[in-house]
Structure 1
């Protein structure tokens, strides 16, 4: 199991997260591409930080919703969704290449991440965009998706595009018995206490309630560094 976090979410004079303290405890860094957070300077600084720590880099594109932090759904044509992803991932790829690195996966952010699992046409648009990028990649980009109890439909669709996948789970979110994330507006949907987060992570390491490749830490959580360090040590100890 890997540990990932959404990073590079500062913008101009407005700082967010503790990327420098968080990065040593990560295997993967999902870097904001400027449409919900981040800007060229923040993207470059985050890429350098990930390279210094030997952390795998991913692009974290979103709907064009800087004011709403990418958490508001938008009704966009499939072609526009594709172009939004190509624009954002391409920008981060260029910065990473200039620094001597490369992007290895794409993890959509916020509302786009959630909407595409409910809307097969939107999921097609996202997968097509990543597949088009992979036509020119030495190492194909993976698409990171939410792990659910039954991933067979998205695996089948990804196979059509010859698209490798990462599945991720959340140590700080409660799950329903069906293996879905409990809606945030329900009591207990977000776990705040470290013992509860550890217990959830231990369940996920056993493949319950879902099987995942990577555990996500929310980089803007006030205790993100403490949570990431705890999960990193738990996961690496489990792997021994």
Structure 2
């Protein structure tokens, strides 16, 4: 089943509205929206879908997304605040897309350290085929995602936090 662009917007309005209802009940502001999974990937590859989803986000609420992607460009074109997302435990293709493993593979902690350090210090990452992929983030607030279903996730998070603390000095 293929969704229309209007349906992407409507689903986003519905889901963000439901979340906002729970937040409002607790007097907590909606700080950001972060699409997940397949939708995130679609937004990184399809400009019209990215715009349709962003039209469902309340004005002024930032979206978290992949830097140097179609999602970033759509956010900038629509005036949606953008927060750049880097990853502690996901590899990248030579085109800057994420490689999402159906079954997560373990990471060596020294590889996590190198991976996160490179993204922060060089604003880019080495892809799985050895190419440097630019991930320009200097113009945005930056978030770093680590997945709870990665083997050794707590150690990945601890290592990522150590790198961030060192980077922030």
| TM-score, length-scaled by structure 2 | 0.78
Residue 9 (structure 2) aligns with: 82
Deviations 1:62-114 (A, max 9, x none): xxxxxxxxxxxx62111111111111111111111211211111111100100
**2: CA distance, partners of 1:154 / 1:220:** 25
Of 202, 226, 233, 2:117 maps to: 202
Q: 1:162 aligns with which of 79, 96, 105?
A: 79
Q: Distance in 1 between matches of 2:41 and 2:136?
A: 18
- How far, CA to CA, are the matches of 2:92 and 2:71 in structure 1? 19
CA distance in 2, matches of 1:158, 1:190: 32
Where does residue 156 of structure 2 map in the other structure?
Answer: 227
Q: Structure 1 residues 159 and 178 mapped into 2: Cα distance closer, same or farther (>3 Å)?
A: closer
Please report the TM-score for the alignment, with normalisation by the length of structure 1.
0.57
Q: Mean alpha-carbon deviation: is it higher for 223-232 or for 81-90?
A: 223-232
Unpaired stretches in structure 1, ≥5 consecutive residues? 1-73, 135-139
Aligned CA RMSD, in angstroms, stands at 2.3
> 1:181 deviation in Å?
2.9
CA contact (8 A) 2:34 2:64 kept: yes
Q: Aligned match of 1:146 in 57, 66, 73? A: 66
Output the CA distance in 2 between the equivalents of 1:94 and 1:183: 31
Structure-1 separation of matches of 2:110 and 2:44: 30
In the alignment, what sits opposite 2:44? 117
Aligned equivalents of 2:90 and 2:106: distance in 1? 6
Aligned match of 2:136: 211
- CA 1:111/1:178 → structure 2, altered by over 3 Å: closer, same or farther? closer
Deviations 1:165-207 (A, max 9, x none): 011121212233443334648xxx9562222111101111111
1:43 maps to which residue?
none
Q: Determine the C-alpha separation between the residues in 2 that align with 1:81 and 1:89.
A: 12
Distance 1:223 1:123, change over 3 A: same
Q: Alpha-carbon deviations, 1:184-231, whole Å to 9, x = none? A: 48xxx9562222111101111111232341211112224222221221
**Native 8 Å contact 2:88 2:156 kept in 1:** no
Unaligned runs of 5+ in 2: 126-134
